[in-house]
Amino acid sequence: MIGVQDILEEFNLTEADLPQNARGDLTEEERRLLDALGMGVETVDDAAERLSTPASDILAVLTGLEIRGLVQLDPGGLIREPLRR
């Protein structure tokens, strides 16, 4: 099973690389979404289908993850890793 730790490893990151406010304080919904993203989900609609959750709820969770710098939501609903500066 692919989880948050697997995603970090895939991008050669550790929890120390995450923004300070992103470490260890993920909600269950945020963890479920990040796990789904690790399984190849690329759009809001894909995530909604995989998690059997309304797209509006997925967008709400994504907003929190985006604020923390863990994902980037592009126009059209594409979810991807945020650009590193």
Q: Give residue 3's pLDDT.
A: 66
Encode pLDDT of 53-64 as tens digits: 999 999 999 988
Q: Give residue 84's pLDDT.
A: 57
Sorted by where each starts, the structural domains of the chain and their CATH numbers stand as: 4-80 (1.10.10.10)
Q: What share of the chain is helix, strand, coil (3-state, %, to 5)?
A: 55, 5, 40
Tell which phi-psi region holds residue 52, choosing left (phi > 0), alpha (psi between -120 and 50) or beta.
left
Give residue 1's pLDDT band: very low, low, confident or very high (50, 70, 90): very low
Residue with tokens 């909600």: 27
Our CA dihedral for 52, 4, 39, 85, rounded to 10 degrees, sits at 110
Encode pLDDT of 19-39 as tens digits: 655 546 788 899 889 888 877
